[in-house]
Amino acid sequence: MASLGLNLDEQKAVDRFRKNVVEPSMTKLVILDFWAEWCGPCKALTPVLEKVAEDYADKGVVLAKVNVDEEQFIAGQFQVRSIPTVYALFQGQPVADLTNARSESQLKGLLDQLLARLPVSGGEADKAAEIAPLLAMGEEVLAGGDAERAAGIFMQIAEMAPESAQAQAGLVRALTALGQLDEAEAVLAALPPELAADAEIARARSALELARDKPEESELAALRAAALAAPHDMDAQFAFASAAFAGGAREEAADTLLTMIAADRAWNEGAARTKLLQIFEAVGLEDPWVAATRRRLSTILFG
């Protein structure tokens, strides 16, 4: 939009329009709605526009509204003669007149046609691409043992993309590794239901639950001694296995649980197998150690 020869108010109007409409339209498809407070049809159309924009947000569609009473200069530039008037803008240029699309289905049909031929950037896809390397960095740092730095990375990602289950789960696992169990629990408690059911979150929750069993060194030594002294005492074996994993001795924990399963898989309603599966979930089902240990479990169960 040209800005030469404009008075101060007109220049301010152009600047607002450039910031609120033109700049977003460089990568997004903007639904531009010209409306007014006194316009009944405008108010009837607003919920339809808002719903469609929300439904298509992950496809790169955004809604921008221009009050013709407050922005008369902008309305004049678009030669708005009646309202509501609705355009689709992309890269600063009108690409379609959407005014006659008054129903949700009509509007979505036109948007589908536009999106099929325009290089519009999808919001969720862009965000996913942006945070992917950060997530990989966080996982690498956490695997390397620097839980404090990993927590900082995952916290930053969670602020950028609070809907990312992997970021939230990574934060919980990092806090758990730091021994900040109450803080990790608070992160889980604040998650919306749709995230709380995610597999990554389930893995983090399992890690937190297991970490709550972490013993002092002296306690772990005592439990180990008790288990060695009474190899047929399932309660002693189970107590040691739980504490061993929480204390970082996952090989000992797995060996003990596998021995218990081989001896009596039905003990305590299959508690040893349940604990081992929880350990698998906490470590991660794609982990090579988990894959190897699962094969050992399968040999016992089906061999």
Active site residues per annotation: 39, 42
Give SS3 for 35: strand
**What is the C-alpha separation between 252 and 297, in angstroms, rounded?**
15
Mean pLDDT of 51-56: 93
For the cut 70, the answer to whether the pLDDT of residue 238 exceeds it is: yes
Measure the N-to-C terminal CA separation of the chain; round to a whole number of Å: 75
* Contact between residue 28 and residue 62 where contact means Cβ atoms under 8 Å apart: yes
Looking at residue 161, its pLDDT comes to 86
Q: Check residue 120 and give its pLDDT.
A: 84
Residue with tokens 């982990």: 287
Nearby residues of 112 by Cβ (< 8 Å), 6 or more positions away? none
Q: Which residues contact 39 (CB under 8 A, 6 or more apart)?
A: 83, 84
State the chain's mean pLDDT as an integer: 91
Angle between helix axes 123-143 and 165-177 (nearest 10 degrees) is: 20
Burial class (CB in 10 A: 0-12, 13-18, 19+), 118: middle
Alpha-carbon gap, residue 256 to 180, rounded angstroms: 28
Check residue 4 and give its pLDDT. Answer: 53
As given in the structure block, the two tokens for residue 14 are: 């152009």
3-state secondary structure of 61: strand
The CA–CA distances, whole Å, from 239 to 124, 156, 184, 214 equal: 45, 37, 24, 11
Neighbour count for residue 135 (Cβ, 10 Å):
18
Residue 150 reports pLDDT greater than 60: yes
pLDDT of residue 181: 95
pLDDT at 121 over 90: no
- Mean pLDDT computed over 238-244: 94
Q: How many CB atoms lie within 10 A of CB 155?
A: 18
Instruction: Write the DSSP symbol of residue 216.
Output: P
pLDDT of residue 298: 94
